[in-house]
Structure 1
Amino acid sequence: MIQANSKPEKMEDGLTPTQSRDGVGEVLPQNELRRDFKPRQVFMFSIACAIGTGLVIGSGTALSRGGPASLLISYLVIGTVVFFVMTALGEMAAFLPMNKGFGGYATRIVDPAFGFATGWNYFFKYIIATPTNLTAAGLVIRYWRPDLNVGIWIAVFGFVIICINIFHVNAFGETEFWLGTIKVIVMCILILTCLVSALGGGPNHHRTGFQYWKDPGAFASYLVKDSMTGRFLGWWACMCQACFAFTGTEVVGMTFGETPNPRKNIPRAVRQTFWRISVFYILGVVVLGMAVPYDNEQLIGATKQSTSAAASPFVVAATLAGIKVFPDFINASLLVFTLSAASSDIYCSSRSLYGLAKDGQAPRIFAKTMGNGNPIWAVAFSSSFFALAFLNVSKSSASVFQYFVSLVTIFAVLNWIAILVSHISFRRALKAQNIELDSLPYVGLLQPYGSYFAIFISVLVIIFNGYDAFIPHFQADTFVLKYLGSVLFLINITFWKLYKKTKRVKALEVDMVTGRREFEETESPADHEWNESFWKKAICKLKMVKD
């Protein structure tokens, strides 16, 4: 006879007899993320998560190196890649909702070793991005108070964003919702300002239109002056910068494990990608090319700045138009951008670590959650890396730290490749198991051909992103910096494959069942009650009419 206060007996793997193993690597059922994100939060997160310093500041560097035409072409190409990445992720996430992040799909559909490398790659990306954005926030404040040490602001902002991530996921979602709203408003103001200035609506009333596409020209030369090679290198520099600008677009995919009614809300979030790319990225770089010539001395000087309003090409555009108050406005906006990015960095790294622990690829303690569904240990461990930001207080350490900062872009592109490879394997599994596309709640445009195209472009970026390490002469430090991320990814795959002796998952053996039970949750109980009540009332009215 079992006593009422006795604890369930645990088996060898730590699970109790009453606890099931529904999926690959699933652990304690009570240690699950909760689907407590509100639809409006996911909607705003999908729009604003990729709007950051890469677009507001980094686009100036690309413009000065490649010119307005190269900038536009590169953003169109990389924007198409990101669109296909998101539609690929949307197909998988809507059909098989999982709370293990991108590595979970790679483990389940491709190979556990591939999933191991993907999960840790994403974790590394965001533990590096967190201190980077905190430092950027400190430098933004320093624009107004150069007398104060950056370390003060790193500590203050770090404490705030950690608190946000410790609370219920709804607190994080609400914070990001309002910060995202501010981001959208700011970007609309910046785009409209550049457009109005280019059309002669600025204080100086100088109408430029597309004049700068003719003089100094649509294409700039980079590294090799006044030659076709130089123009090509300028375009490729824009391609690499565009990857950095689009970094974070896929971040909304990390919320899918905590999104209610995934069959309905995931496709909706993915569809917003098209409009985000079209409005904020493509339209943004078009008006920027209209308002600022790529050979402007102020723009070239701005690209040498680290981070602050002075480094933004939008500030250069406003200055050329005679608008004097814009630097302070941009600086305040950048503070919102960096703090929002730092907060989402901890969220993404903690959920990646949680997913790895769920798949047995990280210590199991990181899969434990609090009563509110927050993976507290994963959040605590991920948050601890914000202390790396204090390296930037010392100038000597800051120069070393910048090497790690530059890895973020490569980690991001590797993650895109992981999502795309998982999607292609997903489509093969559908075909092998005779699952019709009509049964999918969401089917991406031009898929799976879009995934093949996106992989091709992403692999080219990975291979040739270190071109500047060879021009004008070989630079060993730049070479190591540009390819270290790819080497780490391959080492992780090899390590896990040898350590666990994993095998590629065959199309016929892919688990296409576990998680589809989530479809039954497409409508909440309240929705079911409303529908039932609606039809009952409708039937009564029909009977009354008939009588």
Structure 2
Amino acid sequence: MSVPVVEKPEDGLDLSKAESNRQGEVISDNELHRDLKPHQVFMFSIACAIGTGLVIGTGPALTKGGPGSLLIAYILMGAAVFFVMTALGEMAAFLPMNKGFGGYATRMVDPALGFATGWNYFIKYVVVLPTNLTAAGLVIQYWRPDLNVAIWIAVFGAVVVFINLLHVNTFGETEFWFGFIKILVMTTLILTCLVVSLGGAPNHFRSGFYYWQSPGAFAKYLLDGPKGYFLGFWASVCQALFAFIGCEVVGMTFGETPNPRKNIPKAVNQTFWRITVFYILGVLVLGMAVPYNDPQLLGATKQSTSAAASPFVVAMNVGRIKVLPDIINASLLVFTLSGASSDIYCASRSLYGLARDGQAPQIFAKTVKSGSPIYGVAISACFIALGFMNASKSASTVFGYLVSLVTIFAVWNWVALLVSYISFRRALKAQGISVKELPYVGLLQPYGAYYSLFICILIILFSGYDAFIPYFKADIFVLKYIGTAIFLLNITWWKIFKRTKWVRPEDVDLVTGRREYGERESPTDNDWNTGFWKTFIARHKK
């Protein structure tokens, strides 16, 4: 095995560039900087995992499927997400790339798949960006209904763009505190639901698992009888998947994370605890505190945002707790601003990766001194203007269609990531590289990847079930499946236009950017003559 040549930096050399040199990367003026700190990556992974999909989106899943279906659905999807993250962790720790998820698809599978994946991520996040800003404006209208939402779209849009133009370390620190607030909010919500279900709220009703008996653990949806119960469960599964979307976004930071073979596994391993505590435990106590047929819950599912739309706030109302709803509404402002900031980050990095792979104009690969892909941020920021469509009722309807359209893109991107990982494992075997040589090996892999891939394909195929029941609805059918058609057309178009070929396992590049033993053990250890060289010599003594 070859070891990359590691040179001792001369006095005055930029240590960030030296760090990247040690990691086997080619340095140029247009490289992203590996300046995100481990604690920032850790908290960013939490900030991406906790969003309005969890705080608000659990309501429809509870009303359609009941607490039993809700819990089972979140366990099934939580396992799928965990395997997606460990698959990503294996590839990123061994071959960390700053080209986003599309870069892995291009390298491991086919440039056509990488093209479709990268543009899917870009489109998804530039459309979701104005959605989060609109939600932030609606949260403010909770207190100031006299002010137009467009004002807050402009104000908050300027703030999140400014954050993304700063040094990546500043962005990481901002997301760190956003994530910290999210942890406090979710912990408060979970504990409050537990207190309500145990009779500690002002209503003094100890519900426990009473609501699992009356009205019951499972709800019927669309149809009566066993089919209705199954559709209720499947509706919960689909809703759970969309609540989990975004958990993988921390992978976007891996291209700007120092010592990836050490820090990436740490970030990935935290996924298990995030899923267990915030998702599974959260929906468990929610099902204990709120019956799925509660009139407040049924009304909340018809709203789009604000605290009133959250089933956790409904739980507080059931327990007659009057103070927390206002606090939760204020917290949702943090959720939406954090989401908008990370939307620009993900969109610009996706565009940067596409440009680096020759799948987008090269101008988007340009970075400024701070390491920010300036033109990628600028073009992403232009899509904030879509938020002003909500000023018109007809335009807001079209905008709602756009949001629903790109949601399925996220599922396809999971599929692309999993296919890339399976190809990665096959390439390791074909090229005689033992799994033991990997810096990180995921639990139950590669079998977990096949499980996640099976779940994702099922949801893609049957997510539009409600378009056929009780009668065929053409608009819902188009909305649920046109995203799949666009993804497949992107693959086909690029494959024909560029005449790309499927990469054979023995031809996959497992060398460029590969982490060897010459990498520094700690990003904060600046003692080259002791820490680094002693470790290097000890590992190659034999």
Q: Match of 2:301?
A: 303
- Hey, what's the Cα distance between the residues in 1 that align with 2:246 and 2:508? 28
Q: Match of 2:493?
A: 495
Instruction: Report the 3-state secondary structure (helix = DSSP H, G, I; strand = E; otherwise coil) of the residue aligned with 2:50.
Output: coil
Deviation at 1:147, TM superposition (A): 1.1
1:462 to 2:452 alignment: no
- Hey, what's the Cα distance between the residues in 1 that align with 2:56 and 2:181? 17
**Amino acid paired to 1:232:** F
Alignment of 1:67-466 (within 5 A): 67-225=66-224, 227-466=225-464
- Hey, what's the Cα distance between the residues in 1 that align with 2:399 and 2:85? 31
Deviation at 1:243, TM superposition (A): 1.1
Query: For each residue in 1:356-394, what CA deviation from the matched residue of structure 2 results, as whole angstroms up to 9, or x when unmatched?
Result: 000000000000110121110111111111110110111
- Hey, what's the Cα distance between the residues in 1 that align with 2:408 and 2:331? 26
TM-score (norm 2): 0.92
Deviation at 1:27, TM superposition (A): 9.4
Q: Match of 1:3?
A: none
Q: Match of 2:16?
A: none
- Hey, what's the Cα distance between the residues in 1 that align with 2:66 and 2:315? 15
- Hey, what's the Cα distance between the residues in 2 that align with 1:370 and 1:518? 29
Deviation at 1:129, TM superposition (A): 0.8
- Hey, what's the Cα distance between the residues in 2 that align with 1:47 and 1:530? 33
Instruction: Report the 3-state secondary structure (helix = DSSP H, G, I; strand = E; otherwise coil) of the residue aligned with 2:527.
Output: helix
Deviation at 1:109, TM superposition (A): 0.6
Moved more, 509-518 or 111-120: 509-518
Query: For each residue in 1:60-80, what CA deviation from the matched residue of structure 2 results, as whole angstroms up to 9, or x when unmatched?
Result: 111001000000011011111
Structure having the higher Rg: 1
Instruction: Report the 3-state secondary structure (helix = DSSP H, G, I; strand = E; otherwise coil) of the residue aligned with 1:60.
Output: helix
Q: Match of 1:15?
A: none
- Hey, what's the Cα distance between the residues in 2 that align with 1:76 and 1:49? 19
User: Contact conserved, 1:262 with 1:518, CA < 8 A, in 2?
Assistant: no
Query: For each residue in 1:400-426, what CA deviation from the matched residue of structure 2 results, as whole angstroms up to 9, or x when unmatched?
Result: 111111124311111111110000000
- Hey, what's the Cα distance between the residues in 2 that align with 1:286 and 1:525? 40
**Amino acid paired to 2:156:** F
Deviation at 1:143, TM superposition (A): 1.0
Deviation at 1:471, TM superposition (A): 1.0
Provide closer, same or farther for how the CA distance between residues 84 and 534 of structure 1 changes in structure 2, counting only shifts above 3 A.
closer
User: Contact conserved, 1:38 with 1:259, CA < 8 A, in 2?
Assistant: yes
- Hey, what's the Cα distance between the residues in 1 that align with 2:522 and 2:183? 30
User: Contact conserved, 2:32 with 2:371, CA < 8 A, in 1?
Assistant: yes
**Amino acid paired to 1:262:** P
**Amino acid paired to 2:487:** F
Instruction: Report the 3-state secondary structure (helix = DSSP H, G, I; strand = E; otherwise coil) of the residue aligned with 2:518.
Output: helix
User: Contact conserved, 1:157 with 1:339, CA < 8 A, in 2?
Assistant: yes
Query: For each residue in 1:187-216, what CA deviation from the matched residue of structure 2 results, as whole angstroms up to 9, or x when unmatched?
Result: 000000000110011011110000000000
Structure 2: segments with no counterpart, 5+ residues:
1-20, 535-542
Instruction: Report the 3-state secondary structure (helix = DSSP H, G, I; strand = E; otherwise coil) of the residue aligned with 1:487.
Output: helix
User: Contact conserved, 1:27 with 1:358, CA < 8 A, in 2?
Assistant: no
Structure 1: segments with no counterpart, 5+ residues:
1-21, 537-547
- Hey, what's the Cα distance between the residues in 2 that align with 1:195 and 1:99? 42
User: Contact conserved, 2:135 with 2:305, CA < 8 A, in 1?
Assistant: yes
- Hey, what's the Cα distance between the residues in 1 that align with 2:517 and 2:108? 19
Deviant stretches of 4+, over 6 Å: 533-536
- Hey, what's the Cα distance between the residues in 1 that align with 2:382 and 2:530? 49
Deviation at 1:238, TM superposition (A): 0.7
Provide closer, same or farther for how the CA distance between residues 385 and 512 of structure 1 changes in structure 2, counting only shifts above 3 A.
same
User: Contact conserved, 1:97 with 1:257, CA < 8 A, in 2?
Assistant: yes
TM-score (norm 1): 0.91
Instruction: Report the 3-state secondary structure (helix = DSSP H, G, I; strand = E; otherwise coil) of the residue aligned with 1:49.
Output: helix
User: Contact conserved, 1:121 with 1:415, CA < 8 A, in 2?
Assistant: yes
User: Contact conserved, 2:261 with 2:515, CA < 8 A, in 1?
Assistant: no
Q: Match of 1:523?
A: 521
**Amino acid paired to 2:160:** I
Moved more, 338-347 or 401-410: 401-410
Q: Match of 1:544?
A: none
Provide closer, same or farther for how the CA distance between residues 534 and 472 of structure 1 changes in structure 2, counting only shifts above 3 A.
closer
Q: Match of 1:7?
A: none
Q: Match of 1:66?
A: 65
User: Contact conserved, 2:521 with 2:532, CA < 8 A, in 1?
Assistant: no
1:57 to 2:83 alignment: no
Deviation at 1:520, TM superposition (A): 3.0
**Amino acid paired to 2:164:** N
Deviation at 1:518, TM superposition (A): 6.5
Query: For each residue in 1:297-325, what CA deviation from the matched residue of structure 2 results, as whole angstroms up to 9, or x when unmatched?
Result: 11001101111111010111001101011
User: Contact conserved, 1:263 with 1:522, CA < 8 A, in 2?
Assistant: no
Deviation at 1:442, TM superposition (A): 0.2
Provide closer, same or farther for how the CA distance between residues 526 and 475 of structure 1 changes in structure 2, counting only shifts above 3 A.
closer
- Hey, what's the Cα distance between the residues in 2 that align with 1:525 and 1:475? 56
**Amino acid paired to 1:298:** Q
